[in-house]
Copies of this chain bind each other. A is one copy, B any other.
Amino acid sequence: MKSQIAEEYVQVDALDWAPFPEALSKGGIRWKLMHVSPEMGVWTAFFDCPAGSSFNAHTHQGPGEYLLTKGRMDVRGGKANGGDTAVAPGYGYESAGARHDQTAFPVDSEFYMSFLGPLVFISADGSPLAVVGWKEVQGAWQAFLDSKPAVKRAA
Q: Give A contacts to B, CB under 8 Å.
A: 1-13, 34-42, 44, 59, 61-63, 65, 67, 69, 75-76, 84, 86-87, 89-98, 112, 114, 116-118, 120, 128-131, 133-135, 138-139, 142
Contact = CB atoms under 8 A, between A and B. Distances in A.
Contact of A128 (B36, B97, B129): B129
Counting from the closest, the 5 A-B pairs by CB-CB distance are: A39-B39, A5-B95, A128-B128, A12-B89, A8-B93
Nearest to A86: B9
Contacts of A130: 128
Given A4-B98, A9-B92, 10 more contacts: A1-B139, A1-B142, A2-B138, A7-B84, A37-B39, A39-B40, A40-B63, A41-B116, A44-B91, A128-B128
Contact of A62 (B40, B44, B75): B40
A34 B151 CA distance: 34
A89 to B, nearest CB: 4
A10 B116 contact: no
Contact of A90 (B12, B39, B114): B12
